[in-house]
Amino acid sequence: MIFYFSGTGNSEWVAKKVADKLSDKAVDIISLDLAKLRGEMKIESEKYIGFVFPVYAWGVPEPMLNFVKKLKGANEETNAFTFGICTCGEDAGLAMKKLSKTYPLCSAYSIAMPNNYVIGSELESDEVVLSKIKNAESEIDKISLEISEGKKQYRVHEGSLASIKSSVVNKGFNKFARSTSPFWVIKDKCISCGLCAKGCPSKAIELENGNPVWKKGNCYQCLRCINSCPSKAIQYDKKTAGRKRYNIAKYV
Ligand SMILES: Cc1cc2nc3c(=O)[nH]c(=O)nc-3n(C[C@H](O)[C@H](O)[C@H](O)COP(=O)(O)O)c2cc1C
Ligand code: SF4
Ligand code: SF4
At residue 9's C-alpha, the angle toward residues 232 and 37, to 5°, is 130
Q: Are 124 and 245 in contact (CB under 8 A)?
A: no
d(CA 25, CA 2): 6
Ligand 3 atom at minimum distance from 220 CA: 5
For 199-249, how does the pLDDT look when each residue is reduced to its tens digit (9 = 90+)?
999 999 999 999 999 999 999 999 999 999 999 999 999 999 999 999 999
All structural domains of the chain: 2-173 (3.40.50.360), 183-244 (3.30.70.20)
> Which ligand neighbours the alpha carbon of 209 most closely?
2
Distance, first Cα to last Cα, the chain: 23
Ligand 1 centroid distance, CA of 41 (Å): 30
d(CA 78, CA 49): 9
**Residue nearest atom 4 in ligand 2 by C-alpha distance:** 193
d(CA 227, CA 229): 6
Q: Which of 4, 12, 251 shows the shortest CA–CA distance to 134? A: 251
For 53-105, how does the pLDDT look when each residue is reduced to its tens digit (9 = 90+)?
999 999 999 999 999 999 887 666 778 999 999 999 999 999 999 999 999 99
**CB half-sphere exposure, 1, CA atoms < 13 A:** 18
Q: Please provide the DSSP assignment of 60-123 as one string.
A: --HHHHHHHHHHHHT-----SEEEEEEEESS--TTHHHHHHHHS--SEEEEEE-----TTTSPP
Ligand 2 atom at minimum distance from 197 CA: 6
> Can you list the pairs that 205-211 forms with residues at least 24 positions away whose Cβ atoms lie under 8 Å?
211/185, 211/187
Pocket residue to mutate for ligand 3, from 202, 215, 218, most atoms within 8 A of Cβ:
202
Ligand 1 centroid distance, CA of 231 (Å): 22
For 169-192, how does the pLDDT look when each residue is reduced to its tens digit (9 = 90+)?
999 999 999 999 999 999 999 999
Q: Is 91 in the pocket of ligand 1 (CB under 6 A)?
A: yes
